[in-house]
């Protein structure tokens, strides 16, 4: 079973309320742990940026499940590739909150200082995730 990484962006929907993030992380960690999935989730109260890595079929079925979730919308796949190694192997779903998505971090990979993965190239979004995993405390 090939190791695969999928990175996508999405937008918070009107159905989302602030306490949902805890529920999302709890459910994600429970499912991901049993499926061999690791990853990182960034959220700034407007946009999500998530990397999922693990067995290819588990990534595909998990992504499909996430697409059915009414708490976000406009899902956009930024990257889908078979990989040789994990970048986020320490976390079943690590969380990067808004406080860690600082202007200098964002400005390094985007045209502006506001975190908006829809205005970033796929490559830059993936590089930002990788950078964050090494430089900010992951919750």
Nearest distance from C-beta of residue 137 to ligand FMN, angstroms: 20
Cα separations (Å) of 125 from 65, 90, 122, 130? 22, 20, 5, 9
Q: Does 61 bind ligand FMN (CB under 6 A)?
A: no
* 115 makes contact with ligand FMN (CB under 6 A): no
Among 11, 13, 6, CA closest to 32? 6
Fill in the per-residue mask, 70 to 109: x = in contact with ligand FMN (CB under 6 A), - = not in contact: -xx--------------------x----------------
Whether 102 and 94 have beta carbons less than 8 Å apart is answered as no
Contacts of 43 (CB under 8 A, 6+ apart): 12, 21, 49, 95, 96, 97, 98
Which is closer to ligand FMN, CB of 66 or CB of 120?
66
Q: Which of 24, 40, 78, 132 binds ligand FMN (CB under 6 A)?
A: 24
| Residues at the interface with ligand FMN (CB under 6 A) | 10, 24, 27-28, 31-32, 39, 41, 48, 50, 52, 62, 65-66, 69, 71-72, 93
């Amino acid at each position: 079973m090939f190791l695969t990484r999928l990175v996508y962006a999405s937008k918070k929907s009107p159905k989302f309320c602030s306490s949902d993030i805890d529920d999302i992380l709890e459910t994600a960690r429970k499912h991901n742990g049993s499926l061999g999935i690791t990853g990182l989730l960034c959220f700034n109260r407007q946009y999500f940026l998530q990397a999922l890595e693990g067995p290819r079929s588990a990534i595909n079925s998990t992504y499909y499940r996430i697409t059915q979730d009414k708490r976000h919308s406009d899902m956009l796949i930024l990257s889908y590739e078979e990989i040789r190694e994990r970048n986020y192997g320490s976390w079943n779903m690590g969380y990067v909150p808004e406080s860690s998505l600082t202007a200098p971090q964002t400005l390094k990979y985007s045209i502006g200082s506001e975190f908006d993965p829809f205005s970033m190239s796929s490559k830059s979004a993936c590089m930002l995730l990788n950078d964050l995993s090494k430089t900010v405390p992951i919750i």
